Amino acid sequence: MREITYRQALNEALAEELARDPNVFLMGEEVAEYNGAYKVSQGLLERFGPRRIIDTPISENGFAGMGVGAAMVGLRPIIEFMTFSFSLVAFDQVVNNAPNMLTMSGGQFNVPITFRGPNGPAHQLGATHSHATECLYANIPGLKICTPATPRDAKGLLKTAIRDNNPVLVLESELLYSSKGLVEPEDFELLIPLGQAELKREGSDVTIICYAQTVPLALAVAERLENEGEISAEVLDLRSIKPLDLEAILKSVSKTHRVVVVEQDRPFCGVGAEICYRIQKEIFDLLDAPIMRVAQEEVPMPYNERLEEAVLPSAEKLIAAVQEVCYT
């Protein structure tokens, strides 16, 4: 194992899949000459050339649609959005075209396309650049959605997404690009199945269900609670929003009997709402307390730093929720 950044892990995944399959190509704003807005595509233009690493105009609807068409005729495009907030400009392509083509063509056209880029709030980017889009896209049949929180998950999930014969959204986090973690050597074939959650930390008193940038928050809170000798918290990283690993969720909650869901999105119609429904439907009698949720506040994201901190999930909010379900 070696320690690399989240950004490096994504870059390795792209390079390996480009080298493995000549039908794979990367397209998006500044992915080639500039090496990517967040340097995820660093060095790929020099290695694979301009026919496979393609800079586009500022037209998400245009290049996303081009990607859908390319996928229909047998290529495997990777479409980078500079931020998934900009994917809303391509909503018609991502929601109306990519996931529906297989069914509407009577099975004649697969759309093996990967949409990837940073998703969710970062730091002082304002309301129009801070959307967490997972609940919007999770509502659409035919789309798969993964939310890697570690370098290892970023590499393994992206490689799996590129090989999938369906549209997959890889929702990365700008705040995690520089984070480091252990990843297998480059000569190891790392593939992580979609729809497979991972227990990041074992505990006995409460399950904290999280994903994306709420994973390091949950782990930090769990460690703090344990050090204070108060509560043993289990941390379950969903890794994929859709498909959802319900089996892993129910297994953990059946052990701890208490749940807090922490999500980077707003709570109304959110991912946490679906998880709460599934838990109470399947194992209501095993719960020792009502399920708690920690999420963004229901307001447009402020630019002001202190207001932004007040809107986002925090350690204090999560600790308060855990203490409430544990009656401490």
CATH number of the domain that 289 lies in? 3.40.50.920
Task: Using alpha carbons, list the distances in angstroms from residue 324 to 113, 117, 143, 231, 259.
Answer: 43, 36, 36, 11, 10
> Choosing from 12, 17, 80, 129, which is the catalytic residue?
129
> How many structural domains does the chain have?
2
Query: With contact defined as beta carbons under 8 Å apart, do 271 and 134 qualify?
Result: yes
Active site residue 123: no
The whole model's pTM is what?
Answer: 0.96
Amino acid letter, residue 212: A
Amino acid letter, residue 171: L
pLDDT tier at 229, thresholds 50, 70, 90: confident
For 103-120, letters b (16+ CB in 10 Å) and e give eeeeeebbbbbbbbbbbb
Name which of 245, 253, 319 is nearest 286 in CA terms.
253
Residues 174 and 204 in one domain: no
User: In Å, how far from its chain's centre is CA 247?
Assistant: 19
Residues 54 and 158 in one domain: yes
**pLDDT, tens digit (0-9, with 9 covering 90-100), for 166-185:** 999 999 999 999 999 999 99
Cα 53 to Cα 239: distance, rounded to the nearest angstrom: 27
Residues 66 and 215 in one domain: no
Residues 127 and 239 in one domain: no
Residues 173 and 212 in one domain: no
Residues 14 and 145 in one domain: yes
Residues 155 and 10 in one domain: yes
Cα 302 to Cα 121: distance, rounded to the nearest angstrom: 10
Residues 96 and 171 in one domain: yes
The CATH number covering residue 156 comes to 3.40.50.970
**pLDDT, tens digit (0-9, with 9 covering 90-100), for 23-33:** 999 999 999 99
Cα 178 to Cα 314: distance, rounded to the nearest angstrom: 20
Percentage with pLDDT > 90 across the chain: 98
Residues 97 and 235 in one domain: no
> Choosing from 12, 60, 80, 172, which is the catalytic residue?
60
Residues 171 and 226 in one domain: no
Does 191 fall in a domain? no
| Domain extent at residue 63 | 2-183
Task: Give 292's strand partners.
Answer: 260
Rounded average pLDDT over 94-104: 96
Residues 176 and 33 in one domain: yes
Residues 19 and 150 in one domain: yes
Active site residue 60: yes
Furthest-apart CA atoms within the chain: distance in Å = 60
Among the candidates 151, 183, 215, a domain finishes at: 183
